[in-house]
Amino acid sequence: MNAITTLAAPNDLLRMNWADAQLPIDWRSPMGSRGLLLVMIHGTWCHACLEQITWLQRKHVWLTEQGIGILAVAMDNTWQVEAFTSALSAPLPFRLIADDGAALARALGLYDETKRFTRSAVLLIDCAGGTHFAQLDEHTLPEQARLLDAIVHMPL
């Protein structure tokens, strides 16, 4: 089977349950008070990826007030993430972890074995592991209207 055909589509991720998946990360610990988690998968080396990190920094307080936790996952190795965070003028207000060896990207179907590249993604997960928002676009910020709609319509 061609590796490209195995890449996830947004609907694939919406059907996936994180609680049932064998994921190499602890996704429950950064969960927000409403039982929601915004997961952003990106790099630390490209301009568009840095825009995503900056967007998360600006939205951190608002997201926290909405009861949403944040987990940023870098499609980089640990040493790259450590170098990136040590070069920042101030610490990030959310957790940024490395996806060493693309283990999470592979588990989510976001890793293209042919191109050896992880697609960026924005996901909104509930405490039961259900996915309520999925955006898979390389190098783009979340579609703010769709994300806001998903957040507003989540039951309390």
Query: Residue 69's closest CA among 117, 123, 9?
Result: 123
Looking at the 3D structure of the chain, how many domains does it have?
Answer: 1
**pLDDT value for 46:** 80
37 is in which domain, residue-wise? Answer: 3-152
Can you give the pTM of this predicted structure? 0.83
Q: Is the pLDDT of residue 5 over 50?
A: no
pLDDT tens-digit map of 11-31: 677 777 788 777 778 888 888
pLDDT tens-digit map of 68-94: 999 999 989 999 999 999 999 999 999
Query: Residue 38's closest CA among 3, 62, 8, 22?
Result: 62
CATH of the domain at 130: 3.40.30.10
- Pull the structure tokens for residue 75: 């499609």
Complete DSSP assignment for 5-57: GGS--HHHHHH-BTTTS--SS--STT--TTSEEEEEEE-SSSHHHHHHHHHHH
